[in-house]
Amino acid sequence: MELLDGFQAALSPENLLYAVIGAILGTLIGVLPGIGPTAGIAVLIPLTTVVPPAGAIIMMAAIYYGAMYGGSTTAIVANIPGEATSVITALDGYELAKKGRAGPALAVAAISSFVAGSISLVGLSVFAPALARWALEFGPPEYFALLMVAFSLVITLSGRTLLKGVASAALGMLVALIGVDAYSGGTRLTFGIDAVSAGLNYVAIIIGLFAVGEVLFNVEKDVKRIYEMAVTRWLPTRHDLKESAAPALRSSVTGFFLGLLPGCTPVVSTMIAYDVERRVSKRGKNFGKGEIAGVAAAEGANNAAVSGGFVPLFALGIPSGATMAVLLGAFMIYGIQPGPRMFTEHPDILWALIASMYIGNVVLLILNLPLVGIWARLAKIPFPALAGLIVVFSIIGAYSVRNSMFDVWVMLIFGVVGYLMRKLEIPLAPLVLAAVLAQLVESSLRQSLATSHGAYTIFFTRPISAVLMIAAIVLIVRGVWVYVRNPERKSAVLEDVD
Protein backbone atom coordinates (compact mmCIF):
# COMPACT_ATOMS: atom_id res chain seq x y z
CA MET A 1 0.00 0.00 0.00
CA GLU A 2 2.82 2.40 0.90
CA LEU A 3 4.53 1.69 -2.43
CA LEU A 4 1.32 2.48 -4.32
CA ASP A 5 1.09 5.80 -2.48
CA GLY A 6 4.73 6.36 -3.36
CA PHE A 7 4.00 5.80 -7.06
CA GLN A 8 1.16 8.30 -6.85
CA ALA A 9 3.55 10.90 -5.46
CA ALA A 10 6.42 10.01 -7.80
CA LEU A 11 4.19 10.20 -10.89
CA SER A 12 3.13 13.76 -10.12
CA PRO A 13 4.35 16.06 -12.93
CA GLU A 14 6.76 17.87 -10.63
CA ASN A 15 8.46 14.81 -9.14
CA LEU A 16 8.49 13.03 -12.50
CA LEU A 17 10.32 16.02 -13.97
CA TYR A 18 12.91 15.91 -11.18
CA ALA A 19 13.47 12.19 -11.80
CA VAL A 20 13.98 12.75 -15.54
CA ILE A 21 16.33 15.69 -14.96
CA GLY A 22 18.34 13.66 -12.47
CA ALA A 23 18.54 10.67 -14.83
CA ILE A 24 19.79 12.85 -17.70
CA LEU A 25 22.33 14.68 -15.51
CA GLY A 26 23.49 11.39 -14.02
CA THR A 27 24.04 9.87 -17.45
CA LEU A 28 26.09 12.88 -18.55
CA ILE A 29 28.10 12.82 -15.30
CA GLY A 30 28.78 9.12 -15.84
CA VAL A 31 29.94 9.70 -19.41
CA LEU A 32 32.37 12.47 -18.46
CA PRO A 33 35.50 10.91 -16.92
CA GLY A 34 36.25 11.80 -13.34
CA ILE A 35 33.21 13.78 -12.25
CA GLY A 36 31.27 10.86 -10.79
CA PRO A 37 27.99 10.80 -8.85
CA THR A 38 29.54 11.93 -5.56
CA ALA A 39 30.84 15.21 -6.98
CA GLY A 40 27.68 15.67 -9.08
CA ILE A 41 25.35 15.35 -6.11
CA ALA A 42 27.57 17.47 -3.86
CA VAL A 43 27.58 20.30 -6.40
CA LEU A 44 23.79 20.19 -6.74
CA ILE A 45 22.93 20.14 -3.03
CA PRO A 46 23.01 23.97 -2.66
CA LEU A 47 20.83 24.31 -5.77
CA THR A 48 18.13 22.03 -4.35
CA THR A 49 17.38 24.19 -1.32
CA VAL A 50 14.60 25.86 -3.31
CA VAL A 51 13.13 22.49 -4.28
CA PRO A 52 10.70 20.52 -2.05
CA PRO A 53 12.43 17.78 -0.02
CA ALA A 54 10.89 14.87 -1.94
CA GLY A 55 11.76 16.38 -5.34
CA ALA A 56 15.32 17.24 -4.35
CA ILE A 57 16.08 13.78 -2.95
CA ILE A 58 14.44 12.09 -5.96
CA MET A 59 16.64 14.12 -8.31
CA MET A 60 19.86 13.40 -6.41
CA ALA A 61 19.12 9.67 -6.22
CA ALA A 62 18.42 9.68 -9.98
CA ILE A 63 21.82 11.29 -10.55
CA TYR A 64 23.43 8.41 -8.65
CA TYR A 65 21.92 5.50 -10.54
CA GLY A 66 22.01 7.49 -13.78
CA ALA A 67 25.78 7.80 -13.41
CA MET A 68 25.98 4.01 -13.12
CA TYR A 69 24.34 3.77 -16.56
CA GLY A 70 26.44 6.51 -18.16
CA GLY A 71 29.77 5.34 -16.74
CA SER A 72 29.83 2.37 -19.09
CA THR A 73 29.73 4.46 -22.27
CA THR A 74 33.28 5.80 -22.44
CA ALA A 75 34.56 2.65 -20.73
CA ILE A 76 33.29 0.58 -23.67
CA VAL A 77 33.97 3.01 -26.49
CA ALA A 78 37.38 4.38 -25.48
CA ASN A 79 38.58 2.36 -22.44
CA ILE A 80 38.05 5.40 -20.23
CA PRO A 81 35.88 4.49 -17.21
CA GLY A 82 33.45 7.27 -16.33
CA GLU A 83 33.67 6.17 -12.70
CA ALA A 84 35.43 3.48 -10.67
CA THR A 85 32.98 0.61 -11.18
CA SER A 86 33.27 0.99 -14.95
CA VAL A 87 36.86 -0.29 -14.77
CA ILE A 88 35.40 -3.81 -14.75
CA THR A 89 33.03 -3.03 -17.65
CA ALA A 90 35.98 -1.81 -19.74
CA LEU A 91 37.68 -5.21 -19.55
CA ASP A 92 35.30 -6.83 -22.03
CA GLY A 93 33.51 -3.76 -23.39
CA TYR A 94 36.57 -2.16 -24.89
CA GLU A 95 37.70 -5.43 -26.46
CA LEU A 96 34.27 -5.72 -28.09
CA ALA A 97 34.52 -2.15 -29.33
CA LYS A 98 37.88 -2.89 -30.95
CA LYS A 99 36.12 -5.66 -32.85
CA GLY A 100 33.53 -3.20 -34.16
CA ARG A 101 30.88 -4.31 -31.64
CA ALA A 102 30.60 -1.18 -29.53
CA GLY A 103 26.87 -0.95 -30.32
CA PRO A 104 25.90 -4.41 -28.99
CA ALA A 105 28.12 -3.90 -25.94
CA LEU A 106 26.43 -0.59 -25.10
CA ALA A 107 22.98 -2.07 -25.66
CA VAL A 108 23.69 -5.09 -23.44
CA ALA A 109 25.09 -2.75 -20.78
CA ALA A 110 21.86 -0.72 -20.82
CA ILE A 111 19.62 -3.81 -20.78
CA SER A 112 21.62 -5.48 -18.00
CA SER A 113 21.51 -2.28 -15.97
CA PHE A 114 17.74 -2.14 -16.38
CA VAL A 115 17.31 -5.79 -15.36
CA ALA A 116 19.58 -5.35 -12.35
CA GLY A 117 17.86 -2.15 -11.32
CA SER A 118 14.42 -3.76 -11.52
CA ILE A 119 15.41 -6.87 -9.56
CA SER A 120 17.26 -4.97 -6.87
CA LEU A 121 14.44 -2.46 -6.43
CA VAL A 122 12.04 -5.32 -5.73
CA GLY A 123 14.50 -6.52 -3.09
CA LEU A 124 14.79 -3.00 -1.68
CA SER A 125 11.05 -2.47 -1.34
CA VAL A 126 10.07 -5.97 -0.20
CA PHE A 127 12.96 -7.40 1.82
CA ALA A 128 14.68 -4.27 3.17
CA PRO A 129 13.83 -4.68 6.91
CA ALA A 130 14.93 -8.33 7.14
CA LEU A 131 18.05 -7.83 5.05
CA ALA A 132 19.01 -4.75 7.04
CA ARG A 133 18.89 -6.81 10.27
CA TRP A 134 21.26 -9.34 8.68
CA ALA A 135 23.64 -6.56 7.66
CA LEU A 136 23.93 -5.58 11.33
CA GLU A 137 25.96 -8.77 11.87
CA PHE A 138 28.85 -7.21 9.95
CA GLY A 139 31.43 -5.48 12.09
CA PRO A 140 35.03 -4.43 11.33
CA PRO A 141 36.36 -8.04 11.32
CA GLU A 142 33.75 -9.08 8.75
CA TYR A 143 34.51 -6.08 6.54
CA PHE A 144 38.23 -6.78 6.70
CA ALA A 145 37.65 -10.41 5.74
CA LEU A 146 35.38 -9.40 2.86
CA LEU A 147 37.99 -6.96 1.58
CA MET A 148 40.60 -9.71 1.81
CA VAL A 149 38.40 -11.75 -0.52
CA ALA A 150 38.35 -8.78 -2.91
CA PHE A 151 42.13 -8.46 -2.77
CA SER A 152 42.58 -12.20 -3.30
CA LEU A 153 40.62 -11.87 -6.52
CA VAL A 154 43.34 -9.57 -7.85
CA ILE A 155 45.74 -12.49 -7.55
CA THR A 156 43.44 -15.07 -9.09
CA LEU A 157 42.46 -12.77 -11.94
CA SER A 158 46.06 -11.90 -12.81
CA GLY A 159 46.60 -15.40 -14.21
CA ARG A 160 49.87 -15.74 -16.12
CA THR A 161 50.82 -12.17 -15.16
CA LEU A 162 50.59 -12.97 -11.45
CA LEU A 163 53.79 -11.25 -10.40
CA LYS A 164 52.98 -8.14 -12.40
CA GLY A 165 49.45 -8.12 -11.00
CA VAL A 166 50.71 -8.35 -7.42
CA ALA A 167 53.26 -5.58 -8.09
CA SER A 168 50.50 -3.40 -9.55
CA ALA A 169 48.29 -3.98 -6.48
CA ALA A 170 51.22 -3.25 -4.16
CA LEU A 171 51.78 0.08 -5.91
CA GLY A 172 48.08 0.89 -5.48
CA MET A 173 48.26 0.16 -1.75
CA LEU A 174 51.39 2.31 -1.43
CA VAL A 175 49.64 5.20 -3.16
CA ALA A 176 46.66 4.86 -0.79
CA LEU A 177 48.92 5.25 2.26
CA ILE A 178 50.07 8.72 1.22
CA GLY A 179 48.67 11.49 3.43
CA VAL A 180 47.61 11.86 7.05
CA ASP A 181 47.19 8.79 9.23
CA ALA A 182 43.59 8.96 10.44
CA TYR A 183 44.50 7.33 13.76
CA SER A 184 47.80 8.90 14.80
CA GLY A 185 47.45 12.21 12.96
CA GLY A 186 50.95 11.87 11.55
CA THR A 187 51.82 12.22 7.89
CA ARG A 188 52.99 9.33 5.71
CA LEU A 189 55.09 9.47 2.55
CA THR A 190 54.45 13.20 2.06
CA PHE A 191 58.17 14.21 1.97
CA GLY A 192 57.26 17.50 3.61
CA ILE A 193 54.96 18.63 0.79
CA ASP A 194 51.82 20.19 2.29
CA ALA A 195 49.65 19.53 -0.76
CA VAL A 196 50.31 15.81 -0.45
CA SER A 197 49.04 15.72 3.15
CA ALA A 198 45.44 15.44 1.95
CA GLY A 199 46.34 12.26 0.08
CA LEU A 200 46.06 11.39 -3.58
CA ASN A 201 42.51 11.38 -4.87
CA TYR A 202 41.76 8.02 -6.49
CA VAL A 203 39.50 9.67 -9.07
CA ALA A 204 42.47 11.66 -10.40
CA ILE A 205 44.51 8.44 -10.37
CA ILE A 206 41.86 6.58 -12.39
CA ILE A 207 41.57 9.39 -14.94
CA GLY A 208 45.33 9.54 -15.35
CA LEU A 209 45.86 5.80 -15.70
CA PHE A 210 43.05 5.20 -18.16
CA ALA A 211 42.35 8.46 -19.99
CA VAL A 212 45.73 10.19 -20.24
CA GLY A 213 47.61 6.88 -20.33
CA GLU A 214 45.40 5.67 -23.19
CA VAL A 215 46.06 8.85 -25.18
CA LEU A 216 49.84 8.65 -24.68
CA PHE A 217 49.91 4.98 -25.58
CA ASN A 218 47.90 5.45 -28.77
CA VAL A 219 49.72 8.57 -29.95
CA GLU A 220 52.89 6.60 -30.70
CA LYS A 221 51.12 3.63 -32.29
CA ASP A 222 50.99 3.63 -36.06
CA VAL A 223 48.40 0.88 -36.23
CA LYS A 224 44.71 0.57 -36.93
CA ARG A 225 42.92 1.61 -33.75
CA ILE A 226 39.33 1.35 -32.64
CA TYR A 227 38.60 4.85 -33.91
CA GLU A 228 39.41 3.76 -37.46
CA MET A 229 37.44 0.54 -37.36
CA ALA A 230 33.98 0.06 -38.76
CA VAL A 231 31.11 -0.36 -36.34
CA THR A 232 29.34 -3.31 -37.91
CA ARG A 233 26.12 -3.43 -35.90
CA TRP A 234 24.26 -1.13 -33.52
CA LEU A 235 22.02 -3.60 -31.69
CA PRO A 236 22.77 -6.99 -30.08
CA THR A 237 21.85 -10.22 -31.83
CA ARG A 238 19.53 -12.82 -30.37
CA HIS A 239 22.63 -14.85 -29.51
CA ASP A 240 24.09 -11.86 -27.60
CA LEU A 241 20.91 -11.52 -25.56
CA LYS A 242 20.84 -15.24 -24.84
CA GLU A 243 24.47 -15.23 -23.70
CA SER A 244 23.87 -12.18 -21.49
CA ALA A 245 20.58 -13.13 -19.81
CA ALA A 246 21.86 -15.52 -17.13
CA PRO A 247 24.97 -13.45 -16.25
CA ALA A 248 22.83 -10.32 -15.87
CA LEU A 249 20.43 -12.12 -13.53
CA ARG A 250 23.10 -13.82 -11.44
CA SER A 251 25.27 -10.74 -11.08
CA SER A 252 22.21 -8.67 -10.15
CA VAL A 253 21.49 -10.94 -7.20
CA THR A 254 25.15 -11.06 -6.14
CA GLY A 255 25.60 -7.30 -6.48
CA PHE A 256 22.43 -6.54 -4.53
CA PHE A 257 23.32 -8.72 -1.55
CA LEU A 258 26.86 -7.37 -1.44
CA GLY A 259 25.49 -3.84 -1.72
CA LEU A 260 23.50 -4.42 1.46
CA LEU A 261 26.68 -4.45 3.53
CA PRO A 262 27.56 -0.99 4.88
CA GLY A 263 31.04 -0.16 3.62
CA CYS A 264 30.91 -2.62 0.73
CA THR A 265 31.17 -0.17 -2.17
CA PRO A 266 29.89 -0.87 -5.69
CA VAL A 267 33.54 -1.32 -6.73
CA VAL A 268 33.92 -4.29 -4.38
CA SER A 269 30.50 -5.68 -5.28
CA THR A 270 31.17 -5.44 -9.01
CA MET A 271 34.59 -7.06 -8.78
CA ILE A 272 33.36 -10.00 -6.70
CA ALA A 273 30.24 -10.53 -8.83
CA TYR A 274 32.32 -10.41 -12.02
CA ASP A 275 34.71 -13.03 -10.67
CA VAL A 276 31.83 -15.25 -9.53
CA GLU A 277 30.31 -15.06 -13.00
CA ARG A 278 33.67 -15.81 -14.62
CA ARG A 279 33.88 -18.99 -12.56
CA VAL A 280 30.34 -20.27 -13.15
CA SER A 281 30.03 -19.30 -16.82
CA LYS A 282 30.74 -21.86 -19.52
CA ARG A 283 32.65 -19.14 -21.37
CA GLY A 284 34.40 -17.79 -18.29
CA LYS A 285 37.84 -18.37 -19.81
CA ASN A 286 36.99 -15.74 -22.44
CA PHE A 287 36.17 -13.02 -19.92
CA GLY A 288 38.44 -10.03 -20.45
CA LYS A 289 38.90 -10.84 -24.14
CA GLY A 290 35.67 -9.36 -25.45
CA GLU A 291 32.91 -11.52 -23.94
CA ILE A 292 29.44 -9.94 -24.06
CA ALA A 293 28.49 -11.84 -20.88
CA GLY A 294 31.31 -10.03 -19.06
CA VAL A 295 29.74 -6.67 -19.87
CA ALA A 296 26.34 -7.91 -18.67
CA ALA A 297 27.84 -9.22 -15.41
CA ALA A 298 29.74 -6.03 -14.60
CA GLU A 299 26.86 -3.68 -15.37
CA GLY A 300 24.32 -5.87 -13.60
CA ALA A 301 26.42 -5.99 -10.45
CA ASN A 302 27.21 -2.29 -10.15
CA ASN A 303 23.61 -1.17 -10.71
CA ALA A 304 22.23 -3.75 -8.29
CA ALA A 305 24.81 -2.72 -5.67
CA VAL A 306 23.54 0.86 -5.86
CA SER A 307 19.99 -0.18 -4.94
CA GLY A 308 21.33 -2.54 -2.29
CA GLY A 309 23.27 0.35 -0.77
CA PHE A 310 20.03 2.21 -0.08
CA VAL A 311 18.92 -0.52 2.35
CA PRO A 312 21.42 0.23 5.15
CA LEU A 313 20.97 3.95 4.47
CA PHE A 314 17.18 3.81 4.85
CA ALA A 315 16.93 1.17 7.58
CA LEU A 316 20.05 1.89 9.64
CA GLY A 317 21.14 5.39 8.67
CA ILE A 318 24.53 3.95 7.64
CA PRO A 319 25.98 5.08 4.27
CA SER A 320 27.69 2.34 2.26
CA GLY A 321 30.11 4.70 0.55
CA ALA A 322 31.00 8.28 -0.31
CA THR A 323 27.98 8.91 -2.53
CA MET A 324 25.58 7.54 0.07
CA ALA A 325 27.28 9.74 2.66
CA VAL A 326 26.56 12.79 0.49
CA LEU A 327 22.93 11.65 0.15
CA LEU A 328 22.77 11.23 3.93
CA GLY A 329 23.87 14.84 4.27
CA ALA A 330 21.17 15.89 1.81
CA PHE A 331 18.53 14.08 3.87
CA MET A 332 19.69 15.83 7.03
CA ILE A 333 19.60 19.25 5.38
CA TYR A 334 15.86 18.74 5.09
CA GLY A 335 15.56 17.53 8.68
CA ILE A 336 15.20 13.86 7.70
CA GLN A 337 17.27 11.37 9.67
CA PRO A 338 17.59 8.05 7.79
CA GLY A 339 17.20 5.06 10.08
CA PRO A 340 14.52 2.81 11.57
CA ARG A 341 12.25 5.76 12.38
CA MET A 342 12.26 6.96 8.79
CA PHE A 343 9.68 4.30 7.89
CA THR A 344 7.24 5.78 10.41
CA GLU A 345 8.17 9.47 10.51
CA HIS A 346 8.70 10.14 6.78
CA PRO A 347 7.01 7.29 4.89
CA ASP A 348 5.72 9.67 2.21
CA ILE A 349 9.21 10.78 1.16
CA LEU A 350 10.73 7.31 1.58
CA TRP A 351 8.21 5.47 -0.58
CA ALA A 352 8.05 8.28 -3.14
CA LEU A 353 11.82 7.96 -3.53
CA ILE A 354 11.67 4.17 -3.91
CA ALA A 355 8.83 4.46 -6.46
CA SER A 356 10.77 7.14 -8.37
CA MET A 357 13.67 4.71 -8.68
CA TYR A 358 11.40 2.27 -10.54
CA ILE A 359 10.36 5.09 -12.83
CA GLY A 360 13.92 6.37 -13.25
CA ASN A 361 15.07 2.89 -14.23
CA VAL A 362 12.59 2.87 -17.10
CA VAL A 363 13.51 6.44 -18.06
CA LEU A 364 17.19 5.50 -18.26
CA LEU A 365 16.46 2.52 -20.50
CA ILE A 366 14.39 4.77 -22.79
CA LEU A 367 17.16 7.37 -22.82
CA ASN A 368 20.06 4.99 -23.37
CA LEU A 369 18.86 2.19 -25.63
CA PRO A 370 17.72 4.36 -28.59
CA LEU A 371 20.98 6.33 -28.32
CA VAL A 372 23.22 3.27 -28.67
CA GLY A 373 23.99 4.20 -32.27
CA ILE A 374 24.99 7.73 -31.28
CA TRP A 375 27.25 6.54 -28.46
CA ALA A 376 28.79 3.88 -30.69
CA ARG A 377 29.58 6.52 -33.33
CA LEU A 378 32.07 7.95 -30.86
CA ALA A 379 34.23 5.01 -31.89
CA LYS A 380 34.44 6.45 -35.40
CA ILE A 381 35.76 9.86 -34.37
CA PRO A 382 39.35 10.28 -35.64
CA PHE A 383 41.73 9.66 -32.80
CA PRO A 384 43.58 13.02 -32.97
CA ALA A 385 40.28 14.88 -32.47
CA LEU A 386 39.06 12.53 -29.75
CA ALA A 387 42.41 12.61 -27.93
CA GLY A 388 42.16 16.38 -27.49
CA LEU A 389 38.63 16.11 -26.11
CA ILE A 390 39.69 13.32 -23.76
CA VAL A 391 42.51 15.42 -22.31
CA VAL A 392 40.28 18.48 -21.87
CA PHE A 393 37.50 16.54 -20.13
CA SER A 394 40.06 14.71 -18.03
CA ILE A 395 41.56 17.95 -16.75
CA ILE A 396 38.07 19.29 -15.96
CA GLY A 397 37.10 16.04 -14.25
CA ALA A 398 40.26 15.84 -12.13
CA TYR A 399 40.04 19.50 -11.10
CA SER A 400 36.32 19.38 -10.24
CA VAL A 401 36.67 16.69 -7.57
CA ARG A 402 38.35 18.99 -5.02
CA ASN A 403 38.82 22.18 -7.06
CA SER A 404 42.55 21.58 -6.85
CA MET A 405 45.28 21.93 -9.44
CA PHE A 406 47.26 19.43 -7.40
CA ASP A 407 44.80 16.74 -8.52
CA VAL A 408 45.42 17.74 -12.13
CA TRP A 409 49.17 17.20 -11.64
CA VAL A 410 48.44 13.85 -9.99
CA MET A 411 46.34 12.90 -13.01
CA LEU A 412 49.13 13.84 -15.42
CA ILE A 413 51.77 11.95 -13.42
CA PHE A 414 49.63 8.83 -13.32
CA GLY A 415 48.97 9.28 -17.02
CA VAL A 416 52.69 8.71 -17.55
CA VAL A 417 52.58 5.80 -15.09
CA GLY A 418 49.68 4.29 -17.02
CA TYR A 419 51.56 4.69 -20.29
CA LEU A 420 54.65 2.96 -18.90
CA MET A 421 52.57 0.15 -17.41
CA ARG A 422 50.96 -0.46 -20.79
CA LYS A 423 54.38 -0.55 -22.42
CA LEU A 424 55.58 -3.08 -19.85
CA GLU A 425 52.30 -5.06 -20.05
CA ILE A 426 51.55 -4.55 -16.36
CA PRO A 427 47.81 -4.74 -15.59
CA LEU A 428 46.22 -1.47 -14.48
CA ALA A 429 43.08 -2.73 -12.74
CA PRO A 430 44.87 -4.20 -9.67
CA LEU A 431 46.47 -0.80 -9.00
CA VAL A 432 43.12 0.99 -9.21
CA LEU A 433 41.27 -1.53 -7.07
CA ALA A 434 44.01 -1.56 -4.43
CA ALA A 435 44.13 2.24 -4.31
CA VAL A 436 40.36 2.40 -3.79
CA LEU A 437 40.16 -0.40 -1.20
CA ALA A 438 43.39 0.00 0.78
CA GLN A 439 42.09 2.66 3.17
CA LEU A 440 39.01 0.55 3.92
CA VAL A 441 41.26 -2.43 4.64
CA GLU A 442 43.48 -0.40 6.96
CA SER A 443 40.51 1.08 8.81
CA SER A 444 38.79 -2.29 9.28
CA LEU A 445 42.05 -3.93 10.40
CA ARG A 446 42.82 -1.29 13.00
CA GLN A 447 39.28 -1.26 14.37
CA SER A 448 39.29 -5.06 14.61
CA LEU A 449 42.65 -5.17 16.42
CA ALA A 450 41.54 -2.40 18.79
CA THR A 451 38.47 -4.49 19.66
CA SER A 452 40.52 -7.66 20.22
CA HIS A 453 43.41 -5.88 22.00
CA GLY A 454 45.80 -6.82 19.21
CA ALA A 455 44.73 -10.45 18.79
CA TYR A 456 44.56 -11.49 15.13
CA THR A 457 42.48 -14.51 16.12
CA ILE A 458 39.40 -12.28 16.03
CA PHE A 459 39.19 -12.89 12.27
CA PHE A 460 38.83 -16.64 12.83
CA THR A 461 36.70 -16.75 15.97
CA ARG A 462 33.72 -14.93 14.45
CA PRO A 463 31.76 -17.23 12.09
CA ILE A 464 31.19 -14.85 9.16
CA SER A 465 34.71 -13.41 9.14
CA ALA A 466 36.20 -16.89 9.54
CA VAL A 467 34.36 -18.18 6.46
CA LEU A 468 35.42 -15.16 4.43
CA MET A 469 39.06 -15.36 5.57
CA ILE A 470 39.22 -19.05 4.69
CA ALA A 471 37.71 -18.25 1.28
CA ALA A 472 40.36 -15.56 0.73
CA ILE A 473 43.17 -17.94 1.68
CA VAL A 474 41.80 -20.65 -0.61
CA LEU A 475 41.60 -18.19 -3.52
CA ILE A 476 45.16 -16.99 -2.93
CA VAL A 477 46.57 -20.51 -2.68
CA ARG A 478 44.66 -21.59 -5.79
CA GLY A 479 45.91 -18.59 -7.75
CA VAL A 480 49.53 -19.25 -6.80
CA TRP A 481 49.12 -22.98 -7.52
CA VAL A 482 47.71 -22.32 -10.99
CA TYR A 483 50.57 -19.95 -11.72
CA VAL A 484 53.25 -22.37 -10.52
CA ARG A 485 51.79 -25.34 -12.34
CA ASN A 486 51.10 -23.52 -15.60
CA PRO A 487 52.50 -19.98 -15.89
CA GLU A 488 51.22 -19.68 -19.46
CA ARG A 489 47.62 -20.43 -18.52
CA LYS A 490 45.47 -17.70 -20.02
CA SER A 491 42.89 -17.38 -17.30
CA ALA A 492 43.63 -13.72 -16.75
CA VAL A 493 40.95 -11.16 -17.32
CA LEU A 494 42.80 -8.19 -15.88
CA GLU A 495 46.09 -8.55 -17.71
CA ASP A 496 45.10 -6.42 -20.70
CA VAL A 497 43.04 -3.37 -19.93
CA ASP A 498 44.36 -1.57 -22.96
pLDDT at 136 over 80: no
Q: How many domains does the chain have?
A: 1
Is residue 277 assigned to a domain?
yes
Average pLDDT of the chain, as a whole number: 76
pLDDT at 371 over 80: no
Contact 234, 105 (CB under 8 A): no
Q: What is the pLDDT of residues 407-463, one digit of tens each?
A: 889 889 988 998 898 888 887 777 877 777 787 788 888 889 888 888 888 989 888
Q: Any idea what the Cα angle at residue 393 is, between residues 373 and 46, rounded to 5°? A: 100
| 156: confidence class by pLDDT, cuts 50, 70, 90 | low
**Which of 267, 278, 14 is CA-nearest to residue 158?**
278
Residue 316 and residue 310: Cα distance in Å, rounded? 10
Q: What is the pLDDT of residues 322-361, one digit of tens each?
A: 677 667 767 776 777 776 667 777 778 888 888 888 888 8
| 373: confidence class by pLDDT, cuts 50, 70, 90 | low
Question: What is the structure's pLDDT at 153?
Answer: 65
187 bridge partner residues? 180
Question: What is the structure's pLDDT at 224?
Answer: 43
Question: What is the structure's pLDDT at 21?
Answer: 87
Contact 348, 5 (CB under 8 A): yes
Is residue 496 assigned to a domain?
no
Please give the backbone phi and psi of residue 179, each rounded to the nearest 5 degrees, phi first. Answer: 125, -155
Residue 432's domain comprises: 2-485
Question: What is the structure's pLDDT at 229?
Answer: 47
pLDDT at 141 over 50: yes
pLDDT at 263 over 60: no
Question: What is the structure's pLDDT at 331?
Answer: 77
Residue 452 and residue 461: Cα distance in Å, rounded? 11
What string of DSSP letters covers 309-359?
HHHHHHHH---SSHHHHHHHHHHHHTT---STTHHHHSHHHHHHHHHHHHH
**pLDDT higher at 41 or 20:** 20
pLDDT at 161 over 60: yes
Is residue 81 assigned to a domain?
yes
Question: What is the structure's pLDDT at 491?
Answer: 43
Highest averaged pLDDT of the listed ranges 80-89, 123-132, 249-258: 249-258
pLDDT at 257 over 80: yes
Among 52-56, 218-222, 285-289, 450-454, the range scoring the smallest mean pLDDT is: 218-222
**Which of 229, 227, 207, 236 is CA-nearest to residue 106?**
236
Q: What is the pLDDT of residues 72-123, one digit of tens each?
A: 777 887 777 766 677 788 888 888 888 878 788 888 888 888 888 888 888 8
156-186 CB burial, b ≥16 within 10 A, e <16: bbbbbbbebbbbbbebbbebbebbeeeeeee
Is residue 262 assigned to a domain?
yes
| 130: confidence class by pLDDT, cuts 50, 70, 90 | low
Question: What is the structure's pLDDT at 492?
Answer: 42
Residue 454 and residue 456: Cα distance in Å, rounded? 6
pLDDT at 36 over 50: yes
Q: Counting runs of H as helices and runs of E as strands, what totals does the chain give? A: 22, 2
Is residue 316 assigned to a domain?
yes
Report the predicted TM-score, pTM, of the whole model to 2 decimal places.
Answer: 0.65
**Which of 88, 84, 187, 94 is CA-nearest to residue 436?**
84
Residue 22 and residue 36: Cα distance in Å, rounded? 13
Q: What average pLDDT does this structure show over 299-311?
A: 83
Contact 88, 291 (CB under 8 A): no
pLDDT at 493 over 80: no
Residue 128 and residue 315: Cα distance in Å, rounded? 7
Question: What is the structure's pLDDT at 317?
Answer: 66
Is residue 495 assigned to a domain?
no
Q: With H, G, I as helix, E, B as strand and everything else as coil, classify residue 180.
A: strand
Contact 300, 113 (CB under 8 A): yes
Residue 367 and residue 363: Cα distance in Å, rounded? 6
Q: Any idea what the Cα angle at residue 478 is, between residues 472 and 481, rounded to 5°? A: 140
Please give the backbone phi and psi of residue 263, each rounded to the nearest 5 degrees, phi first. Answer: 95, -15
| 233: confidence class by pLDDT, cuts 50, 70, 90 | low
What is the chain's length?
498
Is residue 498 assigned to a domain?
no
Q: What average pLDDT does this structure show over 181-197?
A: 75
Task: Say what angle helices 140-158 and 429-451 make with each other, to 10 degrees.
Answer: 150
Question: What is the structure's pLDDT at 228?
Answer: 47
Question: What is the structure's pLDDT at 244?
Answer: 85
How many angstroms separate the most distant Cα atoms in the chain?
64
Contact 372, 235 (CB under 8 A): yes
Is residue 338 assigned to a domain?
yes
Q: How many CB atoms lie within 10 A of CB 191?
A: 7
Q: What average pLDDT does this structure show over 454-479?
A: 86
Question: What is the structure's pLDDT at 496?
Answer: 42
